[in-house]
Copies of this chain bind each other. A is one copy, B any other.
Amino acid sequence: MQPAAKRGRPQEADPRQIARIALGLFERHGFDRVTMGEIAEAASVSRRTLFRLFPSKSDLVWDGLDAVRDVVRQRAAALAGAELRVAGVLREFAEPFLRLLDAPEAAELARKRLRLLAAAPALLNHPPLREIEALIATTMAGRTSSGDTPPPLVARTLVAATFAALMWWAEHGEGMSALAATRAALGALAPTDET
């Protein structure tokens, strides 16, 4: 497959570069105190182009999540017929992602992003994140192995709890791994029946 000679005007702006610049500014001055205009200027693009590449300020932080979502899509397709309990879903979806976070090269960048999330929780309102939820729910929907608890309910709660744990980890979990923090937090939630 050749480079496939694109038709119109070639793209001059580099989205990854822009996102890196923005993340740097966010870290230095705080998410709220950096305006889209400043980012545009720092990245040498027009404000309008910046908004075309990143439809919302949040997208600058979530850059790369689309790739994660695609991995989740593939996994969901591959697991279409498998027998899974909730623990299995966590293992199949979340844990590989978490292990990725714990990789030495990626950990620092992940921490940066998650710290930003913790500081500006509005960032959680993000469509791709919702799609990941939906994919997990769909994967669980076929089977009743999780008892009579509706799979979409579990999926939604699972994603929310996982991200909450991750955000805490990014801010305060210096000593532990992302995976350990998440497992510990989820494990502690179960309401042992003492009425």
CA A74 – CA B121 in complex, angstroms? 27
A163 CB contacts on chain B under 8 angstroms: 160
CA A85 – CA B172 in complex, angstroms? 22
Indicate whether A25 reaches chain B with its CB closer than 8 angstroms: no
CA A135 – CA B88 in complex, angstroms? 33
A191 is contacted by which of B154, B173, B186 (Cβ under 8 Å)?
B186
Indicate whether A76 reaches chain B with its CB closer than 8 angstroms: no
Indicate whether A184 reaches chain B with its CB closer than 8 angstroms: yes
At the interface with chain B, which of A46-54, A65-73, A102-110, A143-151? A143-151
Q: Are A189 and B161 in contact (CB under 8 A)?
A: yes
Q: Are A191 and B187 in contact (CB under 8 A)?
A: yes
Indicate whether A153 reaches chain B with its CB closer than 8 angstroms: yes
Given contacts A86-B189, A183-B191, A189-B190, contact A150 B172 (CB under 8 A): yes
Given contacts A122-B122, A185-B149, A189-B189, contact A167 B156 (CB under 8 A): yes
Copies of this chain, complex-wide, total: 2
Q: Are B168 and A90 in contact (CB under 8 A)?
A: no
Indicate whether A152 reaches chain B with its CB closer than 8 angstroms: yes
CA A152 – CA B121 in complex, angstroms? 17
A194 CB contacts on chain B under 8 angstroms: 87-88, 91
Indicate whether A23 reaches chain B with its CB closer than 8 angstroms: no
A153 CB contacts on chain B under 8 angstroms: 165, 168-169, 172-173, 181, 184-185
CA A157 – CA B148 in complex, angstroms? 23
A154 is contacted by which of B154, B157, B188 (Cβ under 8 Å)?
B188
Indicate whether A164 reaches chain B with its CB closer than 8 angstroms: yes
What is the CB-to-nearest-CB distance from A126 to chain B, in angstroms, rounded to a whole number?
A: 9
Q: Are B165 and A156 in contact (CB under 8 A)?
A: yes
Indicate whether A192 reaches chain B with its CB closer than 8 angstroms: yes
A187 CB contacts on chain B under 8 angstroms: 149, 190-191
What is the CB-to-nearest-CB distance from A166 to chain B, in angstroms, rounded to a whole number?
A: 10
